Amino acid sequence: MKIRRIKLTKLSWKLAFLYAAVFAAVLLVLNASVLYGVKFFLIDQAKQKVESVSSTVEKRIIGSNSEQMTFDDPEIIYEARSDNTLNIKVAEPSGRIVNATDNFNMLGVPVMDHLNVVRKLEGGALNLVVKNTAVIDGGKVKAYIQVSQNMEKEYNFLWILFILLAIADIIGILFSLFAGYILSKSMLKPIDKMTKAANEIGLSGLSARIEVPPADDELSRLAITFNEMLDRINATFEKQGRFVADASHELRTPVSIIQGYIGMMDRWGKQDEKVLQESINAIKKETLSMTVMIERLLFLARGDNGRQLLKKAMFSIDNLMEEVSLESSMLASDHNFSFQGSQGLELFADRRMIKQMLRALLDNSIKFTPTGGKIDLLYVGDDKEIVFTVIDTGIGIPMEEKEQIFERFYRVDKARARETGGSGLGLSIVKRIVEVHEGKIKIESTVGTGTSVTVTLPRL
Ligand SMILES: Nc1ncnc2c1ncn2[C@@H]1O[C@H](COP(=O)(O)OP(=O)(O)O)[C@@H](O)[C@H]1O
Ligand SMILES: [Mg+2]
C-alpha cells in the first residue's frame, strides 16, 4: 500500500487568511475611527480659534473710534500678523478690503456672504475654516471681517498619520498572517500525526493506536473515537479470523475420517464386502454432517454480511408443532416428548427459520438428556407475542458457560462433542434467528437437573 501524505498546508493557510482578514477588518475600522476622530478634533479646535479671533477683532473694531484706530490699523489684525496660519480681512460696508494679511492664498473667498457661520472649505488647494462676520454698531454695519484658519498643517499631519497607520496595518496584517499560519499549523499538527498513524495502522495490522493528545478537546475526542473504532474493527476481525480457523478445523475432522475410510476401502474393501459397506456408511454419515455444517456456516456468514433473507408469512403454530413433534419422536424414540400449548395460534414470521430454531433447541435437549428423559415443548401466546419453552431433564449447563454456548463452535464438553455429533453452531443459529425476528432468548439451567430455554417472539 502506498502511503499518501495528506497536505495540511492548505487548511492552515485557509485559517491564516481567515485570521488575517478578520484582523484587517478590525484594524480598518479602528484606524478609520482614529483618523476621523483626530480630524474632527482638529477642525473643532480650528473653529473655536476662528470664533474667538473673530470676536476679538469684532470687539476691537466696535471699541475703536477713528481718533485712536482706523480700520487699516495693522493692530486690528494683530493675531494674523503673528500667526501665519491665520488670515484676517477687514472690509468697509461697501465691501472694499481695507486691511488684510496675506499669509496664504485665499483664492478669493468672498467676505460678505455666509455671515456669522463658521464654515469648512475643502477641496482643491483650499483647506480652510472660515468665518465671515458683519460688525454691527448702532444698528448699522460698520465693517465686515473674515477670519480664516489654514488647515494645511493639520491635513499634512492627518496624511502622515494615515500613512503611518497604513504601514502599521500592513505590518500587522502580514504578522497576523504569519502568526495565524504558525498557530493553525501547530494546532493541526495532531491531525497530521493522526493521519500518519492511521496510515501505519493498515500496514502494521490493527493493533496500533493513535496517540491521544493530552488536552481534552475535539482532537483528543477524535483520536479516542478513532481508537475505539479500531478496537471494534479489531474485535470483529479477530472474531472472523477465529470463525474461519474454527470452521477449517471442524471441517478437517470429517475430511480426515473420510480419507481414512477411503484408504481402508482401497486396501481391503475390494475383497471384503463388510469393510466396504462399513466405509460407505461412515463416508455417507460424515459427508452428511459436513453438508449440514457447511449449510450452517453459510447461514451464519450470510447474516454477518447483513444479507439474511427473511421470508415472513402468517402461519399456524399448531401445524408447525405437529410437524416438529412427529420428526422429533421419529428421531429420538427413546425420549418422552410432550408438546403442549394454546390452540389456534398464528405467527407472522419466517416459518422455515422458526422450525430450524425449534429443531436446534430440541436437538440439544435430545443430545444432552439421557435416554428415557423428559423433553417438553410449551407454546403460549397473546396478541403481542408468542413464547416457546423447551424444557429437558438433561445434564444442564454450568452457570459460567451460559453466555458462551451462543458463541460459534462453543461446546461445554469438547470431548463428548464428536460423540454427540454437534458442531457448536446450533445455538449461534438459534440466536441469529431470534435476533432477526426481534425476539428474546433466555436460558435457565441447573447442572444435573435440566435446562429450560425460553424464546419470546413478537407476533408481528
Ligand atoms: N439442553 C442442553 N443441555 C445441556 N447442554 C446444552 C444444552 N443445549 C446446549 N448445551 C450446551 O451448549 C453447547 C452449544 O450448543 P450448540 O450451539 O447447539 O452446539 P452443539 O449442539 O452442536 O454442541 C453444547 O455443546 C452443550 O454443551
Ligand atoms: Mg446443538
DSSP string, 244-272: HHHHHHHHHHHHHHHHHHHHHIIIIITT-
Mode of pairing for the β-strands spanning 346-349 and 313-316: antiparallel
* Ligand with an atom nearest the CA of residue 428: 1
**What residues pack around ion ligand 2 (CB closer than 5 A)?**
364, 422, 426
* Ligand with an atom nearest the CA of residue 420: 1
d(CA 273, CA 258): 18
Is residue 424 within 6 Å of ligand 1 at its C-beta?
yes
Give the residues across from 409 on adjacent strands.
Answer: none
Residue 294 Cα to ligand 2 midpoint, Å, equals 15
Pinpoint the alpha helices (H) of 210-316.
218-264, 273-304
In the predicted structure, residue 4 carries a pLDDT above the cut 60:
no
Grid cell 493692530 in the structure block, residue: 75
Q: How far is CA 15 from CA 174, 183, 187, 253, 279, in A?
A: 14, 9, 11, 64, 78
Residue 368 Cα to ligand 2 midpoint, Å, equals 9
Question: What pLDDT does residue 38 have?
Answer: 95
Question: What pLDDT does residue 355 have?
Answer: 94
Q: What is the mean pLDDT of the chain?
A: 88
Q: What is the mean pLDDT of residues 421-429?
A: 86
The three-class DSSP label of residue 154 is helix
Is residue 396 within 6 Å of ligand 1 at its C-beta?
yes
Is residue 289 within 6 Å of ligand 1 at its C-beta?
no
Give the domains, in start order, of the chain with CATH numbers. 10-160 (3.30.450.20), 218-304 (1.10.287.130), 313-458 (3.30.565.10)
User: What Rg do the C-alpha atoms of the chain give, in angstroms?
Assistant: 52
pLDDT tens-digit map of 251-265? 888 899 999 999 999
Cβ-contact 362, 376 below 8 angstroms: no
Q: Which secondary-structure segment (H or E) carries 54?
A: helix 9-63
Residue 395 Cα to ligand 2 midpoint, Å, equals 14
Question: What pLDDT does residue 69 have?
Answer: 63
- Per-residue pLDDT band for 68 (boundaries 50, 70, 90) equals low
Q: Whose CA is nearest to atom 27 of ligand 1?
A: 412
Which grid cell is 18? 481567515
- Per-residue pLDDT band for 6 (boundaries 50, 70, 90) equals very low
Cβ-contact 444, 455 below 8 angstroms: no
Cβ-contact 308, 302 below 8 angstroms: yes
- Per-residue pLDDT band for 161 (boundaries 50, 70, 90) equals very high
Is residue 254 within 6 Å of ligand 1 at its C-beta?
no
In the predicted structure, residue 407 carries a pLDDT above the cut 50:
yes
Q: Whose CA is nearest to atom 13 of ligand 1?
A: 411
Residue 25 Cα to ligand 2 midpoint, Å, equals 75
Is residue 303 within 6 Å of ligand 1 at its C-beta?
no
Q: What is the mean pLDDT of residues 369-378?
A: 94
Q: Whose CA is nearest to atom 24 of ligand 1?
A: 411
The three-class DSSP label of residue 339 is strand
> What percent of the chain stands above pLDDT 90?
51
Give the residues across from 360 on adjacent strands.
Answer: none
Question: What pLDDT does residue 50 have?
Answer: 94
Q: Whose CA is nearest to atom 19 of ligand 1?
A: 424
In the predicted structure, residue 70 carries a pLDDT above the cut 80:
no
Which grid cell is 27? 484594524
Question: What pLDDT does residue 358 have?
Answer: 96
Grid cell 496660519 in the structure block, residue: 85
Residue bearing the bigger pLDDT, 124 or 43: 43
Q: What is the mean pLDDT of residues 14-29?
A: 90
d(CA 127, CA 11): 50
Q: What is the pTM of this model?
A: 0.57
Is residue 87 within 6 Å of ligand 1 at its C-beta?
no
* Ligand with an atom nearest the CA of residue 424: 1
| CA triple 403-404-406, angle to 5 deg | 85
d(CA 118, CA 102): 20
Cβ-contact 314, 348 below 8 angstroms: yes
Question: What pLDDT does residue 201 have?
Answer: 78
Which residues lie below 8 Å from residue 81, measured CB to CB, with a gap of 6+? 74, 101
Residue 252 Cα to ligand 2 midpoint, Å, equals 19
d(CA 179, CA 198): 29
Is residue 412 within 6 Å of ligand 1 at its C-beta?
yes
In the predicted structure, residue 323 carries a pLDDT above the cut 90:
yes
Select from 154, 187, 236 the least CA-distant residue to 8. Answer: 187
Residue 424 Cα to ligand 1 midpoint, Å, equals 7
Q: How many CA atoms lie within 13 A of 343 on its CB side?
A: 0
pLDDT tens-digit map of 181-238? 898 888 888 788 888 888 887 777 778 888 887 888 888 888 899 889 989 988 888 8
Is residue 365 within 6 Å of ligand 1 at its C-beta?
yes
Residue 390 Cα to ligand 2 midpoint, Å, equals 13
The three-class DSSP label of residue 135 is strand
Is residue 409 within 6 Å of ligand 1 at its C-beta?
no
| Separate counts of helices (H) and strands (E) for the chain | 9, 12
Residue 410 CA: nearest ligand 1 atom is 14
Residue 372, Ramachandran bin (φ over 0: left; ψ between -120 and 50: alpha; else beta): left
Is residue 394 within 6 Å of ligand 1 at its C-beta?
yes
- Per-residue pLDDT band for 333 (boundaries 50, 70, 90) equals confident
Q: Whose CA is nearest to atom 7 of ligand 1?
A: 364
